[in-house]
């Protein structure tokens, strides 16, 4: 069953307007926060809720906020990471397009919790419409005195800026995002120092995903315990899954954590296309390892998907049926990661390029004996050897495909043609 919390008014075209948003109970949480809560109480409530980062890593949000040094004399910054670029993921875009005030309110509360008076929403460059809607929402919030000086007469000031990036996947990585926001090239930074201590302009900074922040007003309104009552023991609340690929009804579905993958695919997504069988499932965005149809009953929560050998990631579930050539899939993916590698760390920069060359030639039927072993070895030399997880992200689906579907690759090399004989063209 869908559990619509963030998505409660997602189908209401007027939800983008502040009056409708307020009529639906919006900005109550913001008012409650400012008028009745101390920052520490906000953090406590979010900690209690068990809310974890929805960008992919699943780090507890309350704990992240708590890392901001209490005694730092520097200004603090809150950043909403809206650089949603993981292939398959399209949930943040919908939140910003259909319910931008929910994001603004979540950002405001989080900013208050960490003592920030300036919050940024860093929107992916290609997201022209979401960025425009966010800007409009921020403007409306200023007009209604939800932002700006002395909000609700409490003396608290908060400014909010919507900033669009240049359109680089890497800028979804928080330290690259910080560089980009500072006007530098989007390349990840080494940690420590962590952004909570030295982030934007070397000041304490918290970077949270859109979906994470959008959940915050609901937690403030209904209490952390209410939120924690949903989901599993360690994965609380609801999560939006972006279902795509060979299913009848692809789309964004908000369900409770722990809902079986099979329910998402078969019930909500209408199951595989008629006459076809599922071959492989990417559960958490293109950088996560594949699951097999035999694992379709795995519950959708961080721990269970990890136990199944993959990651919940950003919640982008990509379904592929038996007509899909895995060599082709991997070629598409490595092309993406090679293109998006920022060029900073040697293994990722050079390794992704080399991998693309090798995998392309296998796909073209020009693979040579020993190529698979070479790919294995190159993957080993990238995995865990780079500053940010882009290197890992590039390698993990390849390693997974080579483990689960090695025969398809070998067939390409040995027979110079495709085992799947794909009649289904994606073009």
Is the CB of 106 or the CB of 391 nearer to another protein?
Answer: 391
Q: Are 172 and 86 in contact (CB under 8 A)?
A: yes
Is the CB of 129 or the CB of 339 nearer to another protein?
Answer: 339
Q: Which of 191, 171, 207 is nearest to 65 (CA)?
A: 207
Whether omega for the bond prior to residue 365 falls within 30 degrees of 0, making it cis, is: no
Is the CB of 89 or the CB of 386 nearer to another protein?
Answer: 386
Is the CB of 294 or the CB of 377 nearer to another protein?
Answer: 377
List, as own/partner pairs, every contact residues 227-231 make where C-beta atoms lie below 8 angstroms and the sequence separation is at least 24, other chains included: 227/49, 227/50, 227/51, 228/48, 228/49, 228/50, 230/3, 230/256, 230/257, 231/50, 231/256, 231/257, 231/258, 231/301
Is the CB of 73 or the CB of 155 nearer to another protein?
Answer: 73
Report the Cα 280 to chain-centroid distance in Å: 21
Three-state SS at 102: helix
Is the CB of 85 or the CB of 242 nearer to another protein?
Answer: 85
Is the CB of 69 or the CB of 343 nearer to another protein?
Answer: 343
CA end-to-end span of the chain: 34
> Which residues bind to another protein, rule: CB under 8 A?
168, 185, 187, 189-190, 192, 338-347, 349-354, 357, 368, 374, 381, 384-387
* Nearest-approach distance from CB 293 to another protein, in angstroms: 32
Q: Which of 109, 141, 119, 142 is nearest to 36 (CA)?
A: 109
DSSP 367-411: --TTHHHHHHHHHHHHTT-SSSTHHHHHHHHHHHHHHHSHHHHHH
Whether omega for the bond prior to residue 193 falls within 30 degrees of 0, making it cis, is: yes
- Sorted by sequence, the CB contacts under 8 Å of residue 188 that are 6+ apart come out as 170, 173, 175, 176, 179, 342, 344, 387, 388, 390
Is the CB of 204 or the CB of 237 nearer to another protein?
Answer: 204
Q: CA dist 197 to 24, 67, 189, 210, 349, Å?
A: 37, 7, 13, 21, 28
Q: Which residues in 291-313 are b (16+ Cβ under 10 Å) and which e?
A: bebebbebbbbbbbbeebbbbbb
* Nearest-approach distance from CB 348 to another protein, in angstroms: 8
Is the CB of 157 or the CB of 184 nearer to another protein?
Answer: 184
Q: Which of 290, 239, 238, 248 is nearest to 268 (CA)?
A: 248
Is the CB of 84 or the CB of 371 nearer to another protein?
Answer: 371
DSSP 227-249: HHTSB-SSSBSEEEEEEEESBSS
Phi, psi of 303 (to 5 degrees): -75, -45
* Nearest-approach distance from CB 305 to another protein, in angstroms: 21
Q: Which of 158, 160, 169 is nearest to 56 (CA)?
A: 169
Q: Which of 247, 239, 257, 241 is nearest to 300 (CA)?
A: 257
* Nearest-approach distance from CB 352 to another protein, in angstroms: 6
Is the CB of 188 or the CB of 252 nearer to another protein?
Answer: 188
* Nearest-approach distance from CB 364 to another protein, in angstroms: 13
* Nearest-approach distance from CB 152 to another protein, in angstroms: 36
């Amino acid at each position: 069953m869908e559990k619509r919390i963030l998505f409660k008014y997602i189908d209401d075209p007027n939800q983008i307007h502040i009056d409708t948003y307020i009529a639906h109970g919006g900005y109550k949480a913001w008012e409650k926060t400012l008028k009745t809560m101390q920052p520490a109480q906000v953090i406590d409530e979010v900690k209690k809720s068990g809310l974890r980062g929805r960008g992919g890593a699943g780090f507890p949000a309350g704990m992240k906020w708590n890392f901001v040094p209490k005694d730092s004399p520097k200004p603090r910054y809150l950043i909403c990471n809206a650089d949603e670029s993981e292939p398959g993921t399209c949930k943040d875009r919908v939140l910003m397009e259909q319910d931008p005030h929910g994001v603004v309110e979540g950002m405001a509360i989080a900013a208050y919790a960490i003592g920030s008076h300036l919050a940024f929403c860093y929107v992916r460059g290609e997201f022209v419409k979401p960025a425009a809607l966010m800007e409009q929402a921020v403007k409306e919030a200023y007009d209604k005195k939800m932002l700006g000086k002395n909000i609700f007469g409490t003396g608290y000031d908060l400014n909010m800026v919507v900033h669009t990036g240049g359109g680089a996947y890497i800028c979804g990585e928080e330290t690259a995002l910080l560089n980009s926001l500072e006007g530098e090239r989007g390349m990840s930074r080494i940690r420590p120092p962590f952004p909570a201590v030295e982030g934007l302009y070397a000041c304490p900074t918290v970077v949270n995903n859109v979906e994470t922040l959008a959940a915050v007003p609901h937690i403030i309104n209904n209490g952390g315990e209410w939120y924690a009552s949903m989901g599993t023991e360690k994965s609380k609340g609801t999560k939006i899954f972006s279902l795509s690929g060979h299913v009848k009804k692809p789309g964004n579905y908000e369900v409770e954590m722990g809902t079986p993958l099979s329910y998402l695919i078969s019930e909500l997504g209408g199951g595989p296309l008629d006459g076809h069988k599922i071959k492989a499932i990417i559960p958490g965005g293109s950088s996560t390892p594949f699951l097999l149809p035999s694992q379709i009953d795995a519950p959708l929560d961080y721990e269970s998907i990890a136990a199944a050998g993959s990651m919940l990631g950003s919640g982008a579930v990509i379904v592929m049926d038996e007509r899909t050539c895995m060599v082709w899939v991997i070629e598409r993916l490595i092309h993406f990661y090679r293109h998006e590698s920022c060029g900073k760390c040697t293994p990722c920069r050079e390794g992704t390029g080399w991998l693309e060359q090798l995998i392309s030639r296998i796909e073209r039927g020009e693979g040579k004996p020993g190529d698979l072993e070479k790919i294995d070895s190159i993957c080993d030399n990238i995995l865990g050897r780079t500053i940010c997880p882009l290197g890992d992200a590039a390698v993990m689906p390849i390693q997974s495909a080579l483990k689960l579907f090695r025969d398809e690759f070998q067939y390409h090399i040995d027979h110079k043609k495709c085992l799947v004989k794909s009649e289904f063209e994606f073009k």
